[in-house]
Each structure stands twice: as structure tokens, then as C-alpha cells.
Structure 1
Amino acid sequence: MKALFTLAFCTVVSGKALLDRNLAYRSPFHDHPQFAHDTNEIHARHVQHSRRQVQDAAGFDDDHYPTFYGGDFSNSPFVWNGGLNFTHSVASGDPFDTSVLLWTRAVPASVADGSSPVPDQSVPVCVSWKIFRSASLSGRPIDTGEAFTSYDVDFTVKVEATGLQPDTKYWYLFADCTNPSSTSPTGVTRTLSDPDTPAHEVNRGKNLTLAVFSCSQYQQGYFNAYGFAAHNTTADVFIHLGDYIYESLGNGAKIGRHVLGRELATIFDYRQRLNQYRTDESLLFAHQMAPWITVWVSERSRAMHTVNHVVNSAALQDDHEVADNSWKAGTADSNDTTIGCSFSPSGACFTDRKLAAVRAYHEWMPIRQVDADDKLRIWRNFQIGKLLDLTMLDTRQYDRDLTDVYYNTECTQLMYCLCIFLDDEENWFMESLTQSKARGAVWRVVGQQIVFTQLNESGAFDLDAWDGYRGNRQRVLDHLKQGKIDNTIIVSGDSHANWASDLAHPNDTTTYNAATGEGGLGVEFAGTAVTSGSPYGTGILPEAANNISRVLVDVNYDLQWSELSYRGFFTLTINPSTLTATYYAMNNISFPNLDGFASAVFVVENGANKITRPVAGGKVNAGVLKSSVVDQAT
């Protein structure tokens, strides 16, 4: 085992405080402290083998050893000094106007290189961090500090940098406390303006760009979309609309992407999968170059509260972060029942799996705890100056009724009365839209996991999307119309395909005109997967996909564009006058590359509540426009 030594600092900081500075030890939920690691117990474990415990104390003079514990040298622990590996680079997230979270993973070198699979549990790892205004990391850091980590949190480190300026770019890095020359890669992050900033001053007067992703399955391909966005767009924001990881197994051996372990059920399983996903070069780089916000699955809560923090990016947890087709009491293969869960292939009940997933997600992602008034919910509202309100919905876990979990498909086809969310979340959502208009925000972007617009697929409907929850959709559309709430943009994931639609009541040919867009209530942009296969056939070629798209845009009245072949993402570029959605397609995900192209561009003008005509300027580089099908028909 490599050497250890007692580390001395000039500042008097308690060892427990250094544990508490690492937010990964905390419970993911303010109101549920029982899920936190007991830092008192970990602290006691660290000091129980201190030198005073194993050596004669006569030779020590406490007054001359300024340690973590002041002059009380008897409590000074050993600190790991055998070298650290920052195995998963760095990441940042949850930026407010004056603070941001910073993340890394610092693994003892002997563990990382495999020479010692289990570290001495009594030895903490100390990591320092600094954040600067300059890319050269010159001058005095704006904020700095140290924190402990250990095997208890998978050697993850999550700290909050404070005292930052609004709307400002920053550079940061971590280092080994015992060897400051051993550092992590340098990360880039930023803050945004406060909620009262005039719309034309947000992002210092430049366009604000959000990059929107969903559904990244490791064994299906390389995460080139993240790298393309980080290298080849000006995205300020990364939004992930669900399925950041997948709980399932699958054979990716032919492209070198075989997943480790089993179907996820325990804390070890979820940690291992997050670890493996975060080895993808493009995903590592995307986390290194921009801040993210991520939220996780929620249980039933009584809370109703609007969170008015400024954020720079957002992500929703869909269903595969725990298990497939989640609802409020289970998934397709693990449900909480009175007869137990021995039938579950995962070997775990849903609640057990969910808590394990949340714990690992909290450790591995640069996220804050849920606000005390939020409890376990993820639906909340973020105000980005007067330019934008970003409303994040949970259409998966929070009070969602039983969905199609495969064994009940025939039954759910008859159950259109199901609720995608119940009264408290729905009322909160409606009120958030109303308040957003009242406060003078120009745009309302609603981030959520599943396609909102009705999609008639040859008489079949996806009951796992809003087509299974038609009452909720009807009330949302009625609220937009009756409240005269304009500039609402819904962004969606999960479908593994690209869609662009005007928002209108399904089959409404009286008040909405599909050709001109008049009568539209807003717009939906739904994006394809980063890697997960097309619902019309994994690997389906563009020509075959376009044949299907021609039918879909013809029979779905408000659907303006369909593209079913390419994997990728889209961006929203926002200013007070226009919102522009640019879709990007990756040419090949079977190996790491940045080979992609812009497949379509759509513009929405302030106050129009529709996609500008001609849609996409009348031309797209992939997929099928409704206007082209209409022109062919005439």
C-alpha cells in the first residue's frame, strides 16, 4: 500500500467540515435526511487510527501542529497521499446568478490502476478546487476550497462555488491536496443573469442557445451528438429530456459498447452504469465545457411551490434512469405490490430501485438537493431574466397513473381517462404559465419527456406519451387559449424521432389552419435520440424512413415535419424577437466522430404562436415537410 501521511493546513478546518463540504454525502432531498451519509460516523472512522492512537503521545507538542483540528493533534487523521486519478474529468451544473456546482471524481491511484481493489476505509481523500475568471487560470481565484471524499460516495466530489458575478463565464479545476501539481482537466462553466434582467440584456445581449438531448443508450452507439454540440455549436445550455442512462442490458459488442453488469437494481449497479457511460469522450467533453442541470425521479409529494432560481441548463430524468415505462408505483418489470416483488427480473421492488438510482445519480451528477418545499418532485420553474421561463415537468413519476407496461396494452388502449399528472402538478403548471405571462417573460419553454402532439400512426397511438392522457392535454391547450398565453414552446424527447408541430387541439380544422398556422396556440419541437434506435427500425435508412414520414405528416393535421432515421439533437436559439430550432443529424454513431449536419431549421416569431411559413424556409436536408406532401398531392 502506498504511503500515507498526516496533512497539515494553516487554516483551522475540521475534518467533518471537509466531509460536509462535499455535497455528494448529503441526502438528495432536504426533507429526507435519512438518505444522507452519516459524516459523523465517517469522521470517526477516519480518526480512529490516528497517530496518537498508535504511537506514544509523549513526543508530540499539540501547540505546534496546526491541523484540520487546530492544536488537537490527537485527532488528526491520516490523509491519502499515494496519488489521485481524476478518472471522469470534471463537470458543473445548477448555476444560479452568483453560484454554481462543480464536480469531479478523485480515485486513489492504487484503486484506479487496479493494484488495490479496496482502499483503506479509514483514510479520507482530500481534494482542493479553484475557480477563475480567465482561461489561463491566472490571478487570484474567485473562490477556492477543499473537501474530503471516500469510497462511501464512489470517490465523487461535489462543491458549490459562490460569490460569482451574474452572466459570467468561469474556468475551474481540482487538485490533490497533498500534491497541488496533480490536477484535473480544466472545466468551463458560467452563471446567468438574475430573473429581473431585461430580455434584451440576458446573456449580455447575445442570443441564448439551449442544446436539447434525450435517450443516450450506451450499447446502441457512441454519444457523438454531445461532442458535436460542444465542439460545433455555440450552445450556452445543455438540456437533457430523459434517459441519460439505461437500466437494461444489450449487446453492443460489435461496436465495442458492451455494457457492464446486469439490469440495474442496487446502488452498485447504478454507480457502475453511470461510471461506464461517463467514459464516453463526447459526454465527458460536453460536461467539461458547459454547466448542466439534472433532476431525478420523484415520488408522490404534497408540495406545490414555484422555484425561481436562474439556471443555465436543465435535464429531466425520464424512465430508463430507473427502469422502463415508469409510473408512480412501478415500471414494466418491477412494481410495489402486496405480494412482494420476487417476480421482478431485477430482483428488486420499484421503490428500492428508485432510491438506489437517486443516490447514485446524486453522487455522479452536478445537481443540488431538491428544494425543501419541492420534497421529491422534479417539476419546477426557472426564470432566466425576462427573456425566458423554463418550466420542467415530470410526466413520468409524479402521480402518473398506470401506463402501458406491455402486459396490459389492450387494457390501456381503452383507458384515455388516465392522468399524466394529478391536480397539484397540473394546477401548478397552469399557474406557472399564467405567472410567466404576468411577469413579462417573452418566452415560455416547457421541458418534458414525452411527445405532446397527437400522433396518429395508422390508427395506433403511443399511450406512453400524451396520447394516453388526453384529458390533461386538452386542459393545457384550453388554458393557453383562454388565458391568451403566447410564445409557449414545448420541447420533448423519448420518441427516438424528430417532430415539429404547431400546438393545436387534435383534428381542429375549424380554429386552426395547418397550411398557414393561423389559430396555433404555440409550437412543439421534439427531438430524436442521441443513440437509441428509431421506433420504425433501428438503423432504418433515410429513404425508407421518409416513406413513413410522408404518411405521418399527411394524416396528422398539425404535424409539420417528421424525420425518423438520424440520431442527433437540436438547439433552441432565443432572443426577444425570435426562437430558432436547428436540428442536427449524426452521420454515423458506430465509432467516435463529429460527422454531422444541420437537417432542418425552424423559426418562431414573437407573438405568432406557430412555425413561420414557409415551414423551414420550404427546404430540409432530412425528413419530410407537410408542405412538400401537400404540393405533391396538388
Structure 2
Amino acid sequence: MFSTSTISFLALAALVGAKSNPLDANLAYRSPFEDRPHLGYDTRSIHARIAKRQLSNEFTDEHYPTWYGADFSNSPNIYNGGVNFTHSVASGDPFDTSVLLWTRAVPIGPAPDQSVPVCVSFGIWTTSALSGKPVDAGQAFTSYDVDFTLKVEATNLKADTKYWYQFADCANSKTVSPIGATRTLASPTTSAKNVNGGKPLTLAIFSCSNFPFGFFNAYSFAAQNTSADIFVHLGDYVRYLSATSIGRILSDRELATISDYRTRYALYRSDQGLLTAHQNHPWITVWDDHEVADNTWKAGSADSNDTATGCQFSPSGSCFTDRKLVAVRAYHEWLPIRQVAADDKLRIWRNFQIGKLLDLTMLDTRNYDRDLTNVYYNTVVNTVAAFGNRSIMGFDQENWFYDTLSASQKRGATWRVVGQQIVFSQLNEGGACAPLKDAWDGYRANRNRVLSHLYDNKIDNTIILSGDSHANWVSDLAHPNDTTAYDSATGKGAIGVEFGGTAVSSPSPFGAGILPGPANNISAKLIAINPDLQWSEGSYRGFYTLALSEDTATATYYAMRNLSTPNTDGFASATFVVKAGQNRLSRPVAGGAVAAGALRNINATTP
């Protein structure tokens, strides 16, 4: 709870910023893209709308009358009927001196109309008791225009430091949000051995949550039972379709409008596991396809594009670009992610320098500029998958990626960790169910260009993180089927490692609800025909962590036993070690034993 002295401090801050527009402090109003402001909300127009509203018995003009100067006739009305912080708090995209803080402040009772803003204050402290003067504090407005979401940047923070934060209703300081915990990153110049106070920095990595197919127990397990410092989400944070499995029912239509997408985010964020994870850790996110539609690419998806036929074909009745833009708007409202330069193509790719320990590079292999993918009814992708002019990222992002990898090595970062959506290594299906043309297998020349850049420039210690497939895959990185330069038994000749993770709750590609035994049989067959693949597991839902030190990277996979109720019933299914400079999985892989799945030449016993 804010103390009296804190409220006084916040009020003073309001007076200092008297001539500014408090709507501008809420980053949710802005365009998702810094260089495309026309895609945001015109806060001047909203300001004018607010200022013209006549007083009523429900709203008073007593709070912060100097927001707009001493002329009280121009002061705004703010809602003072009480608010509810309906979806707790969240933080994300940490830098070394700042972090984004998020909440949602929904009016209680009859909601105000569009002319009335909700004023929310925030503070951030170095203690969980929120004692003393906050390190940073301020206020911002939110309104129906952005679904009452609020996203602010806390600044002037110390690098590599943990913080606690809280929001409050400006009109009633006793109404406060839950207390959230977050942290900053080490400064880019911090030596690798000193990052995170000398302890391994641990990422918890997730993908593919599907509300009707199970509770999001992976999130709560990670928050409560691991030492994760930062949560990384590789996409499919929400799913665009309607379905039901365990009684958690979605809407009966495919998402198409801004209201559809906002409602879906609100529903997913009602899961207690997800709320807990957001409240206690900063997140770094990127989208996959289902935040918009299925198998999205730059000009369409599996069921819609911008042709007359494509618009009619979509069950939602929406043309693709309209649908994509409102989906992106809702994503930026509901997630604590920063704006990036868009070049008018939905750019979300970005890089985080975390001391000299690592660069965390987040790619968009879905929506930015991806060439045509497998959309089920077409077969042309099978014939063009190896064409050299195809790119899964678009050539602007692709060239940026190469430059980022080279710059990371040049600046002396130990690890290059690449967060992206879909399975990178080749997976020969061999008659089993596994991802193919919608993954990097459908963009083979692009994959070869990435591998060649790593090999030709002798870029060490690259780890690719993958999601999307709803199954676990661990592979050495090498040119596909190059058994001359790469030795599958020893890992000699590899240039890095890929860790692919299963879904939080989306069903297995081996079959929904498949048991460990049959899933392990499929995994063993896939390993036999894919030289790079060292471990496969397709029964359990879950996540994995990646603990990074100056000398080693350790990936630990976690399996959830039961998604039918909220619980933290899980176990560590496998652990893999990569030693700095070796560019391969350490042998014996996984120490020669795993608790689930199939390891090359060794079948696991199932708990």
C-alpha cells in the first residue's frame, strides 16, 4: 500500500509535469511502432474530448486540477468511482536502467463513457515492503480506448537489480494493485563472470498455451519451483480459434475484431498460473502465428488474405491485413513489450545485451516479412522450399540478424541465444507426425545462409530456442544430412545447439493426449532418421530453462503430469549441458539418461 508520504511525492510529480498530457505517459496509447505514429491513438483528440465533458454527480473535478495548468475550466474529470486491477500486474522488456510495468485498471460499477479517463499512479522500490522513497514514480491515464490497460516505463534504475512495484488509483490511494517483482539486466559492459552477481542467469522458456486444453501449470511451476530470472515467451501466447476440452470454453467464433482479441487476452490472463508468473518475473516476448491466425505469413494466413476470395474464405469474414493490425494492437496493449521501428511491416525483432554474458536476440519468423508458407490447401511450398530467394524473416531482418550475431561476437559476449518461433533443424518425418514445411524446412536456403554465416565467420556458442511444434527436440546445429563434416555420435563439426520446447497446454503433434510409451516410440523413429536430433519427447506439456554462466549453458526440461486442475505436479524430464567453445551438446548427451522421451540409442523409463 502507498504511504501518505508516497502519495505526496506522487502529487508533487504531478505538479512538476503540470503542462504535459497524462495520456502520453501510458505507452498503450502509442503506435506499436515508433516510426509509424499514425497507427496509435491521437491523445490530443482524446484530451480534447475529456476536457469538454460536463460535470455530473458521478464524477468530480477535485484531483490533480493542475494537470493542464491553473485554468480549472480546462482540467479533466477523472473517474473516482473506484477501480479494479482485474489482471494483476506484469513487467517486461528490461534494460539495464529501465523496465516496463503493466496493469489493467477497470472502473467499478457503471463504467465511465469514453470522455472519462482513469488515473493510475505507480511506484517502484528496492524492497518488497515498498519502504522509503520510491526509486521512480508517476501517474498516467488509461481509458476504454486501450481496454483500460496501462503500460509505463520505470526509469533511473540500477543495473542487474531486483525491484518491487505497485499501482494505485489516483482518486483513492487505498485502492492498490498486487505487488509485482521485476529486475533489470546487467549493463552491456559488465563482465560475464559478474552478471547476476556471479550466479548463472536463468531463462524460463515457453510457447503455445491453449486455454481449453489445460490449465497453464507450466507458468506457475516455473515461478514457484525454479530459479528463473527472466521469462521468455516464443509465441502462441493466445490462440485465435474456439475450442473446448476440459470445460474451459472460449468464444464461439474465430477472432477477427479488436474486441475479439482483447477478450481473448483477458480470458487467458485469468489463469492463475499465468498471473503468478507475470507478477513475479519480467518477461521478454515475441509472437508466433496464433496471436493473429493460423500459419500467418506476410500476405495472409491459412484461411484469409487480402483478395476478395481470401476475405470471403475466412470464417471470421475479415481480410487479413485488417485482422493482423487489430491483433497487433491488442498484443501491444496487453503485453509489457516496447515499441520498435516498424518499417511499416510489424517489426518486433530486437536484441538484448545482457552484460558480456550473452546477447538474447528475438526474431519474428512469422508475421514480419515471411514468404508464402504451407496453408494446407496449397502444395506449391513443397516445390519451392529450397528456392534461394525465399526468406522466413524477410531480407531486412535477415541481414540485421547476421549483423547482430557478428556484433555480439565482436563485443566479446560469451553466448548468442536466439529466441524464435519454429523448429530450425531439419526433421525428416519418416511417416511420423512432425513439423515440416511450416518450419525452417520450408525455407532451406535461408537456413543454410544462417548456418553458413556461423561457420564462415567462426561464430561460437550459438543456441537457438524454438517453440511452436508442441513437442520437445534437442539437436546439434549442422548443415542437414551433412554426415561427412558432422559426427552425430561425438557432435564434432557442429556449430551450435537447438533447444526446442513443448507447449504449455496445446496438444502434441503425435496425437492429443498421447501416452508416454507410444510417444517415445515415435520419437525413437524420428531420432533414427535425423542425424542431428539427439532427444525427442512428445507426450508431456511443459517448458524448459536455460541457465547460462561464463563456462556452461544448462538446459533443463520440465514435464507437467496433470493439466486438468491448477497444480504444480511436474518433474525434470531431461538435462543437457553445452560447454563454452564446444558448439555442441556435451557427451554423453543428457548424461546418458532421461526421465521421458527417447534419447539417441537410449529409451527413457517413464516416471
Q: Please, what TM-score do these two structures have when normalized by structure 2?
A: 0.93
CA displacement, residues 382-414 of structure 1 (integer Å, 9 cap, x when unaligned): 211111011222211222111110101x33222
Distance 1:129 1:422, change over 3 A: closer
- Give the SS at the match of 1:79: coil
Measured in 1, the distance between the counterparts of 2:496 and 2:422 equals: 17
Deviation at 1:342, TM superposition (A): 2.3
CA distance in 2 between counterparts of 1:425 and 1:21 reads: 30
Match of 1:534 in 2: 508
Tell me, yes or no, if the aligned pair for 1:65 and 1:71 is still in contact at 8 Å: no
Partner of 2:364: 394
Residue 449 in 1 paired to residue 421 in 2? yes
Q: Is the 8 A contact 1:16 1:39 kept in 2?
A: no
Equivalent residues in 2 for 1:118-517 (5 A)? 118-252=111-245, 255-292=246-283, 314-337=284-307, 341-371=311-341, 376-408=346-378, 410-416=379-385, 417=387, 418-458=390-430, 462-517=436-491
Instruction: Show CA shifts across 1:499-520 (max 9, x none).
Output: 1111111112211111111111
Give me the whole-angstrom Cα distance separating, in 1, the residues matched to 2:600 and 2:84: 53
CA distance in 1, matches of 2:39, 2:354: 31
Closer/same/farther in 2, CA of residues 450 and 327 from structure 1, 3 Å limit: same
1:621 aligns with 2:595: yes
Deviation of 1:168 after TM superposition, in Å, equals: 0.6
1: CA distance, partners of 2:23 / 2:224: 35
Paired residue type of 2:542: G
Aligned to 1:20: 24
Residue 86 of structure 1 corresponds to 85
Partner of 2:499: 525
State which of 40, 43, 48 in structure 1 corresponds to 2:44.
40
Of 28-37 and 185-194, more deviation after overlay is shown by 28-37
Structure 1 unmatched ranges of 5 or more: 1-7, 55-59, 111-115, 293-313
User: Which string of whole-angstrom CA distances, capped at 9 and with x for unpartnered residues, describes residues 227-260 of structure 1?
Assistant: 10011101111111110001111123xx231013
Pick closer, same or farther for the CA change 1:386–1:9 going to 2, 3 Å. Answer: closer
Aligned pair in 2 of structure 1 residues 375, 467: CA closer, same or farther (>3 Å)? Answer: closer
Q: Distance in 2 between matches of 1:427 and 1:223?
A: 36
Residues of 2 paired with 1:403 and 1:85: CA distance? 43
Is residue 93–residue 100 contact of structure 2 (8 Å, CA) maintained in 1?
A: yes
Q: Which deviates the most, 476-485 or 375-384?
A: 375-384
**Matched pairs, number:** 585
- 1:67 CA displacement: 3.2
Percent of aligned positions that are identical = 66
- Deviations 1:443-496, CA, capped at 9 Å, x for gaps: 111111110111111167610011111111112112211211111111100110
Q: In 1, distance between residues paired with 2:441 and 2:306?
A: 26
TM norm structure 1:
0.89
Whole-angstrom CA distance in 1 between matches of 2:461 and 2:293: 34
Are the counterparts in 2 of residues 9 and 66 from structure 1 also a CA contact under 8 Å?
no
**Conservation of the 8 A alpha-carbon contact between 2:21 and 2:67:** no
- Residue-by-residue CA offset, 1:119-138 (whole Å, 9 max, x unaligned): 33322211111110001111
* Helix, strand or coil at the partner of 2:255: coil
Pair 1:77-2:46 in alignment: no
Cα separation, partners in 2 of 1:339 and 1:627, compared to 1, 3 Å: closer
Equivalent in the alignment of 1:590: 564
Residues 121-173 of structure 1: CA distance to partner in whole angstroms, max 9, x if unpaired? 32221111111000111111111111111111111111111111111100000
| Root mean square deviation of aligned Cα | 2.2
Q: Deviations over 1:253-296 (max 9, x none)?
A: xx23101352111100000000000000000111100111xxxx
Q: Distance in 1 between matches of 2:199 and 2:270?
A: 33
Q: 1:629 to 1:109 in 2, by over 3 A?
A: closer
Amino acid at match of 2:531: Y
Q: CA deviation at 1:14?
A: 4.4
8 Å Cα contact 2:369-2:394 kept in structure 1: yes
Specify the SS of the correspondent of 2:120: strand
Question: C-alpha deviations, 1:187-245, integer Å up to 9, x for none?
Answer: 00110111111111111211100000000011111110011001110111111111000
